[in-house]
Amino acid sequence: MIWIKVILYFKEGLTFDDVLLVPKKSPIVSRSQTSLKTRLSSNVSLNVPIISANMDSVTESRMAIALAREGGIGIIHRFMTIQDQVEQVLKVKRSESVVIEQPYTIGPTSTIKEANSLMSENGISGLLVKDSNNKLCGILTRRDTVFERNLNVLVSDLMTKDVVSAKVGTTIDQAKEILHRNKIEKLPVINENGEISGLITGKDILKMEEYPNASKDKKGRLLVGAAVGVKGDYLERTESLLNNGADVIVVDIAHGHSDNAINTVKMIKKAFPSCELIAGNIATGRGTEDLIKAGVDAVKVGVGSGSICITRIVTGSGVPQLTAIIDSVKMGKKYDIPIISDGGTRTSGDMTKALAAGSSSVMIGSMFGGTDESPGKTLVKNGKKYKMYRGMASFYAALGRRYRENPDSSSDNEDLNDYVPEGVEAMVPYKGSVIEIIRQLVGGVRSGLSYCGANTIGEMQENAEFIKITLAGYKESHPHDVDVI
């Protein structure tokens, strides 16, 4: 019998709890001196490095609007029809703007019932009334309809006919003066032929002043991203999303270092060369390089690190998040492509470590689940409020996805054992508004920059020094020897 000695060399993998950042001498007097501006992708920048995850229990229009107002961006999930996803994108784009380019309109012969329905559906308080030639002929607001009991009355009977309007090219300062002088809230913008070209509202101008840090596109609209899959209608979906204002497209697949993901990236880039494209998830430098060569503008890093992800348990595969970031950043720097850390972030300290390790931004899922802005209704259990939160590779998410992709397929002969979930469904405590969570994260990261002696994320990445800690060191980092109130 011949014995063969096998020697295995194991690479060490570290995650956020395994390390701390070494404090450095700081010139920062106040954390307000720090800047969190960063690159999301090759040509899109953010004022804060936070992205909400493209999960159906995290991001739809309400979350995307809240996050963009604070300087980040939300990625609308893809688990809906193309038209529904487009509507979610349009809600973000119409939520505030220098000029709303596609304001909601209605015809003069429509009924008040139809007008109320359109306003309720889209969460708006007024409609521009146009004739068959797209010319402005009136404006209808909730004040006109609030006490009307006959819902069959025509819009033309209740609308304001003498509408104060502005010409194309009117500046914000000029619009403010017109709104103030005429004591009105909505200012339609018309071209030289009297056709509706846009809408300026007093509410949008106030929002610009209330949210000076908001992340916006060149037209002054809030930034928003949207996810697509790697099968079926992804090209048609991408085209519709881009045509309706989506600023970035995210190729959404659990195992991003695969032929499916790489081929999808190539196809999208070939069809839409100017599209800002993000893809993932991967966990290695090689995976990063292959996606970059396929044409992505940013790479999403993280396999098995999410709070409801069980990929590592089910498949035995994954890389601890900090090591995955560091390996991917090395390749990202080579090609000047930003890296997004996706998963494993539970605190602002984790976020600071992810950024210090080289990622340009951080995608958040579970921390934003359970908020007012996340989709879904609140549940009450044992007197406490909760919201559902699930991984997109969970059993019911995968099952729902299969039925959406093959609506005509019969389930009679379907073996449910064919579904091997890599995520779980869970309930998370109700947390109130996401705004407070975002601001706590931003404040923590700003403090993290000051501890690293840095004014910017780039300076922190240059100054950062990690130290590995033991279990005792980890315990020492948390409150101990006291009863926390």
7 is in an annotated binding site: no
| Residue 401: active-site member | no
1 is in an annotated binding site: no
Contact 281, 340 (CB under 8 A): no
With H, G, I as helix, E, B as strand and everything else as coil, classify residue 222.
strand
CB count within 10 Å of CB 353 equals: 29
Contact 90, 234 (CB under 8 A): no
Residue 19 β-bridge partners: 468
303 is in an annotated binding site: yes
CA 288 to chain centre: 21
344 is in an annotated binding site: yes
With H, G, I as helix, E, B as strand and everything else as coil, classify residue 321.
helix
CB count within 10 Å of CB 366 equals: 22
Residues belonging to the chain: 485
Contact 28, 451 (CB under 8 A): no
Phi, psi of 469 (to 5 degrees): -120, 160
Dist CA 7 CA 15 (whole Å): 26
Active-site residue (options: 142, 401, 402, 404) = 402
342 is in an annotated binding site: yes
302 is in an annotated binding site: yes
365 is in an annotated binding site: yes
Dist CA 363 CA 52 (whole Å): 6
**Beta strand pairing call for 425-429 and 384-390:** antiparallel
Contact 387, 77 (CB under 8 A): no
Dist CA 29 CA 347 (whole Å): 24
Report helix, strand and coil shares of the chain as percent, to nearest 5: 35, 20, 45
Contact 228, 234 (CB under 8 A): yes
| Residue 275: active-site member | no
CB count within 10 Å of CB 219 equals: 13
Active-site residue (options: 39, 78, 94, 309) = 309
Dist CA 482 CA 485 (whole Å): 9
Contact 38, 298 (CB under 8 A): no
430 is in an annotated binding site: no
477 is in an annotated binding site: yes
252 is in an annotated binding site: yes
> Which of 310, 420, 411, 309 has the alpha carbon at shortest distance from 363?
309
Residue ranges for the binding site for IMP?
307, 342-344, 365-366, 389-393, 422
- Active-site annotation, residues: 309, 402
